[in-house]
Structure 1
């Protein structure tokens, strides 16, 4: 049911309820009381424990941190990606349904040239597997071409490699679709920087404060006609307040 149909249905129910008699109301006895939302559709808080669940190797965390901080570096506008918790956000996402490819169709039949279609939504590997192979390949490439870990390279050299990955002029090999892997990292760091802090990223709502987004507020009706204005509202997260 789309939003328009849902609103229409609610309006029809309200009108019917207003015109109903007491006898009609009595017929509602036994109406189901368990109306809680399906847990699968509720926000999933960040994993706890103070440890990394997927990016458990130091070299993987250092590589992701270096990549993310080149994609969103610290400047006068805001914190870097790692400072905003994007590495933790990624780890928590990879440890959950996203990392397992729960929303991806990965069953057969498989096409003869499926390896060449890795950039399409039907990936052969899960996001968790893609990061495992992609990060290892990126580290191997940096050591082979520059004699050092990617995280230890100068920022301008890191930018050169990332630009080559984005443009498809660099091939990481080892079965990695290099351009698609770059795009995956870019999408994920953006998500971590602007997601609700309940998911581990956007610490202190730095991303929201930077763009002036008021966050997960219950009601915006008072501000609906103030497009383009700085409302001066402090961002609000889905994290419950004590």
Structure 2
């Protein structure tokens, strides 16, 4: 919906390094976190619809977080481009062609703000956005494109969205519930 194919592949690879597959369950790639990110950036949220964006823009104190004029979608697109530029400069390969440990080194450099500026925003601002969206994509309701088959919820033993827990709360013993998505509520209404 938002990404070009190469941008999607780069996002999926970066998200997988932030939330990798391990013994506990699937990683961001298998959970479709990149699809969730794609949908979010294509929405009104991607253009900061509800945010004040008219300035003035001052250099913020370290405790105030980033202040920039970029829309989230533009920051993300610039960040993906810089991931490949930084990877080519330091490893002579695109980000998706790097070994996992090299991808981790690139992402660590972005987290620390060591990559070049992204039209006034720092590389750490991009990394924070990428990390936040990855975690959301792993655990959000599948209705939004990520958390494929509610596997993210199953790893956390989260029962998902339910209309009511009244019967379960009144039960004397602890009940383990299978995850339930908003999509299942929509099918029944």
Does TM-score exceed 0.5, indicating one fold? yes
Q: For 1:77-106, what per-residue CA distance to the aligned partner results, in whole angstroms no more than 9, with x for missing partners?
A: 111101111111111111111111112110
2:115 corresponds to which residue? Answer: 171
Instruction: Calculate the aligned-residue CA RMSD, in Å.
Output: 2.3
Partners of 2:29 and 2:77 lie apart in 1 by 19
Q: Aligned partners of 1:125 and 1:66: how far apart in 2? A: 24
CA distance in 2, matches of 1:161, 1:210: 28
CA distance in 1, matches of 2:49, 2:95: 30
Q: TM-score, normalised by structure 1?
A: 0.69
More helix by proportion, 1 or 2? 2
Among 99, 102, 113, which residue is 2:46 paired with? 99
Q: CA deviation at 1:224?
A: 3.7
Unmatched tracts of structure 2, length 5 or more? none
Say if 1:172 and 1:178, in contact at 8 Å, map to a contact too. yes
The residue that corresponds to 1:234 in the other structure is 178
Equivalent residue for 1:181? 126
Residues paired across the two proteins, number: 183
TM-score between both structures, scaled by the size of structure 2: 0.87
Specify which structure has the bigger relative contact order, considering alpha-carbon pairs within 8 angstroms and separated by 6 or more residues. 2
Do residues 218 (structure 1) and 166 (structure 2) align?
Answer: no
In structure 1, runs of 5+ residues without a counterpart are: 1-52
Match of 2:104 among 153, 159, 162: 159
Distance 1:164 1:230, change over 3 A: farther
The yes-or-no answer on 1:191 pairing with 2:136 is yes
Larger Rg: 1
